Amino acid sequence: MTEFGQLLKSLRERRGVSQSKLAERAEFDHSYVSRLEGGARMPTRDAVDRLGDAMDLGEGERDMLLAAAGFLPRDFAKILSAEPVLGEVFYLLSDEQLPAEYRENMRQVLHLMAEQARIAMQFATVGQVSAAA
């Protein structure tokens, strides 16, 4: 299962929606959601938007789903203005004068940070579900 597939399944299950129902709401073939969740397919940006609409995702969840599918968030400029250090990081990653090994190290660190944030979010979600029960 891909990162996108895991996130899609998690978001869908939190809303208590079956794969068939989600596919129907997003106007996809009934097996498409299953293939996405299983990692057999990767969505287009339009497909991610349609899935987000079908699950009535908030902006943050929608951006997480877009990122997991390899797309930039819907309002990238908003993120950069709220987090100026991100602009600096993107600038450094695109600067050819910075040696490639340094840029790759930065990417690896960013990847690890993102992974830790996803894990923290999963634990937070489990805690919210437990508290509601």
* Mean pLDDT calculated for residue range 51-64: 92
Helix (H, G, I), strand (E, B) or coil at 31: coil
> Quick check: 79 pLDDT over 70?
no
Domains of the chain: 1-73 (1.10.260.40), 75-133 (no CATH)
* Bigger pLDDT: 117 vs 8: 8
CB-based contacts of 39, cutoff 8 Å, min separation 6: 1, 2, 4, 5
Give the pLDDT confidence score for residue 78 in this predicted structure: 64
Is residue 65 within 8 A of residue 52, CB to CB? The reply is yes
The pair of three-digit structure tokens given for residue 74, joined into one six-digit string: 């819907």
* Bigger pLDDT: 124 vs 5: 5
> Quick check: 131 pLDDT over 60?
no
* Bigger pLDDT: 48 vs 73: 48
Give the pLDDT confidence score for residue 44 in this predicted structure: 93
Residue 89 pLDDT level (bands cut at 50, 70, 90): confident
Rounded CA gap, 56 and 52, in Å? 6
* Bigger pLDDT: 112 vs 83: 112
* Mean pLDDT calculated for residue range 67-89: 76
Mean pLDDT of all residues in the chain?
86
